[in-house]
Amino acid sequence: MPLELRRAFVILSLVVIAVAVVWATRFDAMPPADFSLQNGTDPKTLDPHRATGSPESRILFNTFSGLLQMLPDGPPDPETGLQPMSAQPAVAKSYEVADDKLTYTFHLRDDAMWSDGTPITSRDFVWSWTRMLHPGTACEYNFQLFSLPNAQAFSTGVVEVDDRVEVELWDRPFPDGRREDEVGEANIQNFPRGTMLYGTLKEIRKPPEPQLGDDADDKIKADAMGQWQESWVYVVDIAKVQEDTPNQDVLWDDVVSTRMFCANPDSPIADAQTARIHNVLVAFDKLGALETPDDHTLVVHLKDPLPYFPSLTAYYPLFPVPKHCIEEHGMPMWTKPENIVSNGPYVVGMRRLRDRVRLVKNPRWFNADSVAIETIDALSTEGQNTALNMYETGQLDWVTDPPGALMETLRERDDFYSAPMLSLYFYRINTTRKPLDDPRVRRAIAMAINRVQIVEQVTKAGQVPAYSLVPPGIAGYESPPGLEPDLDRAKALLAEAGYPGGRGIPKVTILYNTSEGHRAIAEVIQQQLQNTLNIKLELQNMEWGSFLDKTNQIDYDIARAGWIADYADPNTFLDLWVTGGPQNSTGWSNPVFDGLIGQAAAETDAQTRMKLLAEAESIWIEEMPVIPIYFYVGINMVKPRVEGFFPSPQDIHPFQLLKIREPESVR
């Protein structure tokens, strides 16, 4: 290395070290929060419509508020210690339900406002729910609103002739004021949106379908079909919009022009009169599913009488998001701490990657006077032992993932909380890859896993082995018999599938997100399947964001997962697996299963509805696209100085209910 280059390298190294010291000193100098918790990994996003997983939900449940919120309802169960929860007023101060259970009328608080002082109106919910459903948002929970008329068609992007549609022109605004049609650039995010036109779809013109050889792989086929569909030309009768009405109502039968639109300006069947667009979608928010008679009234019309709909409005994907903030900063910049506007008991004060999200009390929350803790740190601490050490030294007040190796000792402590949960730990299976595309292979693997060994020797906190999908404890529902361990039957199934003694099965990979607990479980299953079925497994861990991307793309063999009930009903576990569902991520599809889920949604008799759901679960068990491992128990360690913490069926712990005892009262 030349002398000059060596000197430059030394100087650069010294500068880097100096900056690192200043950076570390600045971190150390930051005063601690009033309360700190282990949040596991870094949240992938702080956008309620893009989030999934516990690291995100803990923050979102406390920085945003929905129409309703989940709060304690009555005394704890004397046997389990669980605190029952129910959906109670939040942004909506009250609501009524029509006799047919299909219409809900929510009355918003007059003083509901965003953290920047902007009033919250009923139209914020229409805009937010439309954004949540929009296919460009890719919300993994969009199916939770499919009970609204036209919501599923809007979200899937499917349109048919004679549908009433919305057309989004290719002129989305950038936050800096430019428009994509002026600068020739594409704003790849779907909100803020471009100019919207409304009308009736009269014709879809399609170029010749691409012809691909049988040897073309799935990705090439998917790309070709996508490009072909982008070349379709839509002929739409454009309707008049009443600009002077609060909701800009559409006069569908008052046609002002007929125009042609296409997403691909180079389409072989487009001409100079064809306008470039982003989307032609069913006009969900103009077709009456949601009404806003005034700023403080939201009327919701359902096509199915869902008994759990109030609980859905208390779940974060249905929380409102700030239209004015998103349109000013764009996606994803609106979620940066210096930009984000929210409406919960806390706001994001600071976010440092791989370290923490600091929450600060929101003085504009409607019930701010009841919030006792001023600042809360959600620390990105994945290591179980690290978290326990931080807890013992006073750096953490709440540990959400204690070390499994110490579980038997920890369970004896007064600051350890353990109680049943409506939740399941499971392994997704990529049913599109051989040999896992064969249900016999999937059932064989499921029947060869010794779950008792896992819960007694690995997790050790009272988890219950799971052989079916829906956890026990949901009133009125009983799961059908699951696939109990049976090695002889498992070996016979492998032989039937063409893999006697496991011969011919290629090496299979188990994917899990970085965690000592997930690794320990995977290692046990790896050994079990090697010893019993001669199936060789590799283990692969990934950080949270990459793990989510890989599972969502169905780019794995077997992947660990967990699901906590969104509401206390078996449907929250079953409708995950409908064909094409955003949470499915297995490639599995069964039309009979889909039909039963649809029938149950429309069923008004509670007993009949539960029977339909049990039938659906029977099909799921038989085909086993997912291997249930165990039903969780809530496991938390909380300092004695903290008041207001209690186990709940969904492991929801509202921060606004927590208080810190004065030092002299701590024992």
- The whole-number pLDDT of residue 24 equals 42
DSSP string, 172-218: PBPTTS-BHHHHT----S-SS---EEEEEEEEEE-PPPP---TT--H
> Helix, strand or coil for residue 12?
helix
- Sign, Cα dihedral of 185, 188, 190, 192: negative
Strands of 73-130 (E only): list them. Answer: 85-89, 92-97, 103-108
Determine if the peptide bond prior to 332 is cis (ω within 30°): yes
- How many CA atoms, within 13 angstroms, populate the side-chain half-sphere of residue 455? 19
- The whole-number pLDDT of residue 185 equals 67
Residue type present at position 487: L
d(CA 488, CA 500) in angstroms, rounded, equals: 12
| Residues whose CB is less than 8 angstroms from the CB of residue 379 and which lie 6 or more positions away in sequence, other chains included | 36, 37, 38, 39, 355, 356, 390, 396
CB 261 within 8 A of CB 277: yes
CB 102 within 8 A of CB 302: yes
CB 33 within 8 A of CB 613: no
Enter the DSSP assignment of 47.
Answer: -
Q: At what angle do helices 606-623 and 439-448 cross, to 10 degrees?
A: 90
- Alpha-helical (H) ranges within 264-411 are 309-313, 323-329, 384-392, 407-410
- The whole-number pLDDT of residue 213 equals 77
CB 451 within 8 A of CB 465: yes
> Helix, strand or coil for residue 616?
helix
- Among 469, 424, 649, 431, smallest CA distance to 574 is for 469
Q: 273-282: string of b/e by CB count within 10 Å (b at 16+)?
A: ebbbbbbbbb
End-to-end CA distance of the chain: 63
Q: What is the pLDDT of residues 269-294, one digit of tens each?
A: 999 999 999 999 999 999 999 999 99
CB 429 within 8 A of CB 586: yes
d(CA 15, CA 291) in angstroms, rounded, equals: 60
Residue type present at position 550: K
| Residues whose CB is less than 8 angstroms from the CB of residue 319 and which lie 6 or more positions away in sequence, other chains included | 48, 60, 64, 65, 66, 128, 343
CB 280 within 8 A of CB 234: yes
| Residues whose CB is less than 8 angstroms from the CB of residue 28 and which lie 6 or more positions away in sequence, other chains included | none
> Helix, strand or coil for residue 556?
coil
Token reading at 559: 């992947």
Residue at token pair 């079916």: 468
- Among 470, 456, 478, 401, smallest CA distance to 634 is for 401
- The whole-number pLDDT of residue 218 equals 73
d(CA 625, CA 588) in angstroms, rounded, equals: 6
Query: From residue 486, how far is each of 448, 454, 467, 483, 558 by CA, in Å?
Result: 6, 16, 12, 8, 21
Token reading at 293: 């008679």
> Helix, strand or coil for residue 417?
strand
Token reading at 68: 């309703």
Enter the DSSP assignment of 286.
Answer: G
d(CA 219, CA 348) in angstroms, rounded, equals: 40
d(CA 50, CA 317) in angstroms, rounded, equals: 8
CB 635 within 8 A of CB 461: yes
d(CA 590, CA 600) in angstroms, rounded, equals: 16
Residue at token pair 């022109």: 169
Say if strands 558-564 and 508-513 run parallel, antiparallel, or are unpaired. Answer: parallel
Q: Which domains does the chain have, with CATH numbers?
A: 103-318 (3.90.76.10), 422-634 (3.10.105.10)
- The whole-number pLDDT of residue 517 equals 92
- The whole-number pLDDT of residue 186 equals 63
- The whole-number pLDDT of residue 222 equals 82
In the chain, which residues have pLDDT < 70?
A: 1-29, 185-188, 664-667
Token reading at 195: 């100019």
- Alpha-helical (H) ranges within 39-134 are 54-63, 122-133
CB 146 within 8 A of CB 140: no
- Alpha-helical (H) ranges within 534-656 are 544-552, 571-574, 591-602, 606-623
> Helix, strand or coil for residue 164?
strand
